[in-house]
Amino acid sequence: MKFIQKLQKAQLNNNSLLCVGLDVDPARLPQHLRSMSNSVVQFNRRLIEATYDLACAYKLNLSFYEALGERGWQSLQQTLAYVPAGIITIGDGKRGDIGNSSERYAKAIFNGFGFDATTVHPYMGYDSIEPFLRYEDRGTFLLVLTSNEGSSDFQRITFGGKPFYQKVVHAAVRWNTRKNVGLVVGATHPEELQPIRKLAAEMPILIPGIGKQGGDLESAVRYGCNKKGLLAIINASRSILYASSGKDFATAARKEATRLRNKIVRYQEQFFD
Amino acid sequence: MKFIQKLQKAQLNNNSLLCVGLDVDPARLPQHLRSMSNSVVQFNRRLIEATYDLACAYKLNLSFYEALGERGWQSLQQTLAYVPAGIITIGDGKRGDIGNSSERYAKAIFNGFGFDATTVHPYMGYDSIEPFLRYEDRGTFLLVLTSNEGSSDFQRITFGGKPFYQKVVHAAVRWNTRKNVGLVVGATHPEELQPIRKLAAEMPILIPGIGKQGGDLESAVRYGCNKKGLLAIINASRSILYASSGKDFATAARKEATRLRNKIVRYQEQFFD
């Protein structure tokens, strides 16, 4: 199945555009889990069990696992085994290298871990991204306008009145011959989402930044979705993961995920037929 | 010791600007090594033993190790243990993420593996790079003008007559308050090296692309060095690693490394006092 079909199916099945970011900081685990040998995986397992019917995707930022060394690599693999088939898994690695090396990153992420999708830096151009695109049934999301402050350092530089990040959108549209390209646009840029969605009418847009980073959920839904009110993937990490630091962390996570999912559904109903 | 001092010392001690890229493809290992359980590490160990007096640095492209899974992670660590103190190690990961995540990448690369230096994508701006710069004694190399064809897709877009990559150079100079920032400029762009070196007079410049990729060694030395004929780090990977596919691979690697080092020295003598 094409990535975009798998994504749509997951969004319809669970009636959800919510992506749960499993970016686990061992220092923030609930006290009672910390002594466990496999604490990160146990935490993730309980979070997945508590939210899998509320989410269309899980996103794992690879940095959080790499920081744990070899152990982290194992945790990643074990965590992925708990995600039910039908839910999208995103290996958020923000890779990008010369073709020879990007081939290997793609292999590690798509074959090794078996992720459904990944994120890549556009800076090195087409031949740094093409090795990912060869995996026709996987999604490759280009960083367009990221949720952090530094996004204005280069992404917003304008020439001929147009910001640099629009060049990336145009390229992504051009490179989408296999229908497996997506975009990353932070929810902290609500005004830019609409024009970007116009340029990329039928591409998935991964939208981080609605929680701790203060992004705008209403705009994320309203302008991030395609005309059917789908294909926006709205990520929340810390607000769900650390909804409670006690033994009730999974229940609290479910409550927060439900709240977000339902809020998204209300916006979908408001802005789409 | 500051990174730039350590680098200069390594370059003077071995009279070498050569960096050996240990980007090992298991499929290209000499036949007699392939059956060994630890073949990648054994290959690297013999290469290091054969070249450590001819190189100022070893660069390990992380993709080659990630593609090998958990085992690759171990190979990385074990390889690094064979690099003599005083020689620079570069973890070429081309990372870059929001601050929270970049912190973790920096931790994995500088603390976990203990690399002296790394490479980062500039696209996400200052706060995506600053967590790396906090490691004052390590070097962080920003991608400026990469050696691949795709470098023209975005890096060369011009505005006000100036190419985008120059914006990155200007930013790198501004962000170099701790004297630990470097640049990556492919040897496949000989004409751009000189103006870049002018803008960044005393920064290390990592220059890949002289081997298989067909870059220009003379320009790499002539325009990549500072006024003292130092601070260019000229990387060769495949031409050294696979100089022979037989049992004599280490001897052949030494021969090729010697040839490159000596050629570089001759250019240094020609163009610098």
From A98's Cα to the closest Cα of chain B, the distance in A is 6
CB contact under 8 A, B95 and A94: yes
Q: Please, which pLDDT band fits residue A188 given cuts at 50, 70 and 90?
A: very high
Instruction: State CA A189 to chain mean position distance.
Output: 16
CATH number reported for the structural domain that contains residue A81 in this entry: 3.20.20.70
> What part of A 99-128 touches B (C-beta under 8 Å)?
99, 101-105, 107-108, 112, 121-128
CB A123 within 8 A of CB B121: yes
Domains in chain B, number: 1
CB contact under 8 A, A150 and B107: no
CB B25 within 8 A of CB B225: no
Q: How far apart are CA A132 and CA A134, in angstroms?
A: 5
pLDDT tens digit at each of 273 positions of chain B:
899 999 999 999 999 999 999 999 999 999 999 988 899 999 999 999 999 999 999 999 999 999 999 899 999 999 999 999 999 999 999 999 999 999 999 999 999 999 999 999 999 999 999 999 999 999 999 999 999 999 999 999 988 788 999 999 999 999 999 999 999 999 999 999 999 999 999 999 999 999 777 789 999 999 999 999 999 999 999 999 999 999 999 999 999 999 999 999 999 999 998
Q: What is the pLDDT of residues A209-254, one digit of tens each?
A: 997 777 899 999 999 999 999 999 999 999 999 999 999 999 999 9
What is chain B's length?
A: 273
Q: How far apart are CA B83 and CA B90, in angstroms?
A: 11
Q: How far apart are CA B165 and CA B173, in angstroms?
A: 13
Q: How far apart are CA A141 and CA A168, in angstroms?
A: 11
**Which residues, 6+ apart, have CB-to-CB distance to A137 below 8 Å?**
A1, A2, A3, A6, A180
Instruction: Give the ipTM.
Output: 0.97
Q: Catalytic residues of A, which ones?
A: 94
Q: Cα(first)–Cα(last) distance of chain B, in Å?
A: 26
CB contact under 8 A, A154 and B146: no
CB contact under 8 A, A97 and B73: no
Category of B12 on φ-ψ map: left (φ > 0), alpha (ψ -120 to 50) or beta: alpha
Task: Please state the rounded mean pLDDT for residues A120-127.
Answer: 98
Full-prediction pTM beyond 0.90? yes
Q: How far apart are CA B156 and CA B150, in angstroms?
A: 10
pLDDT at A160: 80
**Which residues, 6+ apart, have CB-to-CB distance to A76 below 8 Å?**
A60, A62, A65, A113
Q: Please, which pLDDT band fits residue A181 given cuts at 50, 70 and 90?
A: very high
**Which residues, 6+ apart, have CB-to-CB distance to A203 below 8 Å?**
A172, A173, A176, A181, A182, A183, A231
Proportion of chain B in helix, strand, coil states, percent, rounded to 5: 45, 15, 35
Residue A64 has pLDDT above 90, yes or no: yes
Please indicate if any CB of chain A lies within 8 Å of the CB of B94: yes
Q: How far apart are CA A211 and CA A246, in angstroms?
A: 20
Residue A193 has pLDDT above 90, yes or no: yes
pLDDT at B161: 85
B122: its two tokens:
């500039």
B164: domain range? 3-271
Please indicate if any CB of chain B lies within 8 Å of the CB of A161: no
CB contact under 8 A, B67 and A104: yes
Dump the DSSP string for chain A. --HHHHHHHHHHHTT--EEEE----GGGS-HHHHTSTTHHHHHHHHHHHHHTTT-SEEEEEHHHHHTTTHHHHHHHHHHHHHSPTTSEEEEEEEE---HHHHHHHHIIIIIIS--SEEEE--TT-HHHHHHHHT-TTSEEEEEEE-SSTTHHHHTT-EETTEEHHHHHHHHHHHT-TTS-EEEEE-TT-HHHHHHHHHHTTTS-EEE--SSTT---HHHHHHHHS-TTS-SEEEEE-HHHHTS-SSTTHHHHHHHHHHHHHHHHHHHHHHH--
Do the strands B162-163 and B158-159 form a parallel or antiparallel pair, or are they unpaired? antiparallel
For all residues of chain A together, what is the average pLDDT? 96
pLDDT at A10: 98
Query: Cβ atoms within 10 A of the Cβ of B272, count?
Result: 14
pLDDT at B215: 85
Q: Please, which pLDDT band fits residue A138 given cuts at 50, 70 and 90?
A: very high
Please indicate if any CB of chain B lies within 8 Å of the CB of A194: no
Q: How far apart are CA A222 and CA B66, in angstroms?
A: 38
Name the closest residue on chain B to residue A146, using Cα atoms: B124
